[in-house]
Amino acid sequence: MCFQSYFSSVIMFQYLFIIISLSGAYSWTDNKQRRFKDDFLFGTASAAYQVEGGWDADGKSESIWDRYVHSRPEITPDGDMACDSYQHISRDVQMLRELGVDFYRFSIAWTRVLPTGFSNKINKKGLQYYNDLIDELIKYNIMPMVTLYHFDLPQSLQDLGGWANPLSINWFEDYARIIYDNFANKVPYFITINQPNSVCIDGYSGSFAPGINSKGIGDYLCVKNVMLAHARAYRLYQNEYKVKYQGSVGIAISVNWVEPINNQTENVKAAEIARDFTIGLYVSPIWSKDGDFPPSVKEAVASRSKEQGFHRSRLPSLTPEEKTLLKGSADFLGMNHYTTVQAQPSVKKYPSPSLEDDMLVDFAQSANWTQGASPWLKSAPFGLYKACVYLNLNYDYPPIIITEHGWSTGLGLRDGSRVENLRGYMTALLFALEDGTNVRGYTAWSLMDNVEWGAGVSERFGLYEVDFDSPKRKRSPRVSAHVYRRIIEQRIIEDTWLPSSLKMDVSMRRMGKDKSEL
């Protein structure tokens, strides 16, 4: 056997061992103690609409989520008050201190800072709220990580076409300038856009604010404009603020893993095209060599567009200048990872035109994976490892911060399934780090129960439980909060460390007993 073949065999054996090891959160068999390095950053996160409340307080204007919820009687307007974080800065920061995190990722509500959506009118009370939050974080040595846009576009801009209007690129750049002018001296990490995948594909399917059904057309217009808006905001910081403040600017993209349902050739190809549509469409323009959308996506959309009678592809092309603007336009990749899906060629009939009809892939999830409280969420820790390997191989080891990972439960402080999920995924992360993935930090979603968009408060992702019936929105730490704090302190995953009251329950779950949520 030649050296190259031997080396490849060793790598493949190690890869298979890791995947088998991560098939369950507690099933790894080697005795090696893996440890997060001392400079690895731990944090937790929230988003403005999901926690702040005060939807029209102190000059804040209406966002697309305010309009979306208020215009649908079937949806409870939980975001109007949410966790009332607008009134409880000190308690929120106290929770972060209790956890011992290095950073807190939160978003700024565009409508709270610029009520008209434009830079002609700046709301000083809105700026003051974020100034107070940032100062309170810095007071206790907690780094602020600021997301400029987390789904809540000003409704005034949506009335002008929103992200489907190419002028949205200018609007976002102007907004970013206001944020940089006021906070670049205090904030070391900025994230421009959170999950353009959700902003565009969900937002233009009718099921997510702004609730416009323009599948296969509006969503692709949005993708191009959002990505260019990100790039302009990045270049703005790079050109006018980087030298003085030395901060980092990235983008947060949903990178859930897509696995073939089995190793048959057609299913492997289905998984590949699905990854190009769900991941590559957003990652490739920044980290690929040519700074463009994936060739497979361009070809698929162009082919289907021609069949449907369109004179040009429904996916707008990028000009040479736009490719140059996009390529390299991030200091780090914010990786939002929650779950894994299994792919196979489609046997369903999807609306035409639509991204689903262009992609022609059906998704499933294994019945053997643990189910979360959210219908879309199942635990498959190996998917995080595979997603990291995929990014390494396809995009040359990009710097990564895991900007979201979490697990939903029902009510209750004894959240054993979240503890199990946290340990499983963080073990997968340690394997990925050991194999060279350049992950610099991990962010638990979320600090506290919040408004999960259209699902309201029915799905609980918080390390802290929030009593939404309490006038002051009382926050209480779950078991997972104590476990996460212990991981941060020790920088290892201790399978044996559990509160004595929880050990028997977890043992029963491992033995397959039918026990209610811990």
pLDDT digits 0-9 by tens, 158-199: 999 999 999 999 999 999 999 999 999 999 999 999 999 999
Residue 246 lies in a domain: yes
Place of tokens 């029963």: 508
What residues have CB less than 8 Å from 188, skipping those under 6 apart? 143, 144, 145, 246, 247, 248
What residues have CB less than 8 Å from 13, skipping those under 6 apart? none
Residue 13 lies in a domain: no
Residue 25 lies in a domain: no
Question: What would the mean pLDDT of 264-286 be, rounded to a whole number?
Answer: 98
How far is Cα 406 from Cα 459, in angstroms, rounded to an integer?
A: 11
Report DSSP state, residue 319. Answer: P
Q: What angle do CA 150, 155, 151 make, to 5 degrees?
A: 15
What's the mean pLDDT when you consider all of the chain? 92
The pLDDT of residue 31 is: 73
How far is Cα 109 from Cα 79, in angstroms, rounded to an integer?
A: 13
How far is Cα 253 from Cα 244, in angstroms, rounded to an integer?
A: 27
Number of domains in the chain: 1
Residue 18 lies in a domain: no
How far is Cα 322 from Cα 154, in angstroms, rounded to an integer?
A: 25
Burial 421-432 (b: 16+ CB within 10 A, else e): bbbbbbbbbbbb
What are residue 104's phi and psi, to 5 degrees? -130, 120
The pLDDT of residue 19 is: 52
Max Cα-Cα span within the chain = 72
Domain span holding position 203: 32-510
409 pLDDT above the threshold of 50: yes
Task: Please report, for the domain that includes residue 385, its CATH number.
Answer: 3.20.20.80
What residues have CB less than 8 Å from 323, skipping those under 6 apart? 285, 290, 291, 292
Please name which of 476, 413, 403 lies closest in space to residue 44, comparing C-alpha atoms. Answer: 403
pLDDT digits (tens, 9 = 90+) for 449-470: 999 999 999 999 999 999 999 9
Residue 94 lies in a domain: yes
User: Which residue type, as a one-letter code, is found at position 455?
Assistant: A
The pLDDT of residue 513 is: 31
The pLDDT of residue 23 is: 55
